[in-house]
Chains A and B, each alone.
Chain A
Amino acid sequence: MDVKQVQLDAEGFLVDYKEWNEELAKELAKEEGIEELTDRHWHVIRFMREEYEKTGQVPTIRRLKNAGGIPTKELYALFPNGPAKKAARIAGLPKPQGCV
């Protein structure tokens, strides 16, 4: 399954998170300017998917820090310019709920 075969919403987020696989993640990462996904990237991605399956919500940066043990500083280094959005997209999850 590659990017051309899955359904993306207007902003490029996967419509059904179950259509996700690791190959797809690599492709989405390249689109986001991340050439190679390291172990730490995968740690974030897997944690986000687990949380989403459990709670139905895309975890916040604070949640990634508190429950996922991922320091915010590192998250910004791994997924530069808007880590919450970027990591969610690569993990095949919907766009994080905007604030109000």
Chain B
Amino acid sequence: MKNIVILGAGTAGTIMANKLAAALDKTEWQITVVDQEEIHYYQPGFLFIPFGIYTREDVIKPKRDYLPPGVNLIMSKIEVIEPDRNRVKLENGKVLPYDFLIIATGSRIHPEETEGMLNGAWHKNIFDFYTLEGALKLANFLKYWEGGRMVLNIVEMPIKCPVAPLEFVFLADWWFTEQGIRDKVEIVFATPLPGAFTKPRASHFLGNFLEKKGIHLVPEFNIERVDSSKNKIISYDEKEIEYDLLVTIPTNMGDEVIARSGMGDDLNFVPTDKHTLQSSQFENVFVIGDATNLPSSKAGSVAHFQSEVLFENIMRAIEGRPLQPKFDGHANCFIESGFGKGILIDFNYDVEPLPGKFPLPGIGPFSLLEETKMNHWGKMMFRWMYWNLLLKGSELPIQAQMNLAGKRL
């Protein structure tokens, strides 16, 4: 019996387990998935929780329900990966030998990386919304808030879902308007980037949106510390921003097991081939989703596009055929812009977001780099697709590789 071990049953790990289980001969291959938590979180939904649009129940399901029969699921922490010996040691003492290893251990926020972030005001008037707990506590805070200065700060790049911070301030603008207190709230968007977003054309487009909505953009703000006694954040070059409410996107890092195993960079992301998704160091190790060090977005859509390339490459590796360098950095992101509308962007390593129609060129129904109601419905519908199609590894009507057709250059 040969072994494929998948570390992590989040979006990427679950899709891979489903795809491989459907394709591999069960008498020949054992697929083992390791995770430490029973709950699968629909992470794109966390954004909606602070504004009371989603509740806890909308974003959680048991992981087991999404893994196919025949897959061996082990609930345990991982002690260390030993790629030189082709095995993984678990905290519960088990040792898992593997023929192929898929690392899908994701990324998490680390507020403790910023001095003063956890000094007493954490989850009092400083919140994250990248965890369910943070999003729920922020919802509770906002329910009773009467206004003041809300500062959203991105600590450093890269972060999971780089559009989420923008969506947060767009939704906040809408929500405070609905609550009748928009005139009492000042919204500040402080980012280490030179503009609203990473890609120039989208950055310009989204920057205009910030302006239209009366959201103050502070670019190139690199936070050094939080002074929670004076309610201000201070940058490395001594710029200061005062806040009444600080919504932070803390440093994102890969799993600690990557560091313990000596397999990561300074943020515990695993060096990975940009196009094949093979580990840069070990031939029989592959990496997918947020765990990679790739210059692609850390997002569910990316994990999904990667899964098609990785599935093909694992099958090739099993058969001893050369890998195909087919991952192009494709990302596809719905951006909630408030008041029941949304923006859609579609891009890859080389082509920045362009206007056009998606997924059917010239038809849509979605519009790229444009604000429409249909785009908003696309985003809301996506939750159903996520649970019912995407995680199960089903074919979606979107190609893994970015398509230039339907785009206006």
Which of A2-10, A13-21, A27-35, A73-81 interfaces with chain B?
A: A73-81
Q: With A and B bound together, what is the CA distance between A10 and B369 in angstroms?
A: 27
Give the nearest-CB partner of A71 in chain B: B236
A residues contacting the other copy or chain, number (CB 8 A): 16
Interface residues of A in 49-89 (CB under 8 A from B): 60, 62-63, 66-67, 72-73, 75-76, 80-82
**Is the Cβ of B236 less than 8 Å from the Cβ of A100?**
no
- What interface size band does chain B fall in? 20 to 34
Which residues in B have their C-beta under 8 angstroms from that of A97? 295
**Is the Cβ of A73 less than 8 Å from the Cβ of B236?**
yes
State whether A82 and B224 are in contact (beta carbons under 8 Å apart), knowing that A62-B266, A99-B157, A99-B193 are contacts in the complex. Answer: no
Q: With A and B bound together, what is the CA distance between A66 and B236 in angstroms?
A: 17
Q: With A and B bound together, what is the CA distance between A76 and B192 in angstroms?
A: 13
User: Given A67, A73, A99, which contacts B162 in the complex, CB threshold below 8 Å?
Assistant: A99
B158 in contact (CB, < 8 A):
yes
Give the nearest-CB partner of B199 in chain A: A100
Give the nearest-CB partner of A66 in chain B: B266
Q: How far is the CB of A99 from chain B (nearest CB, A)?
A: 4
**Is the Cβ of A62 less than 8 Å from the Cβ of B198?**
no
**Is the Cβ of A100 less than 8 Å from the Cβ of B237?**
no
Q: List 18 A-B contacts (CB under 8 A).
A: A60-B266, A62-B156, A63-B266, A72-B224, A73-B224, A73-B236, A81-B220, A97-B295, A98-B198, A99-B157, A99-B162, A99-B198, A100-B157, A100-B162, A100-B199, A100-B297, A100-B329, A100-B331
List the interface of chain A (C-beta within 8 A of B). Answer: 60, 62-63, 66-67, 72-73, 75-76, 80-82, 97-100
List the interface of chain B (C-beta within 8 A of A). Answer: 156-158, 162, 193, 198-199, 220, 222, 224, 236-237, 265-267, 295-297, 329, 331
8 closest pairs, A vs B, by CB? Answer: A99-B157, A76-B236, A62-B266, A63-B266, A99-B158, A100-B297, A76-B237, A66-B266
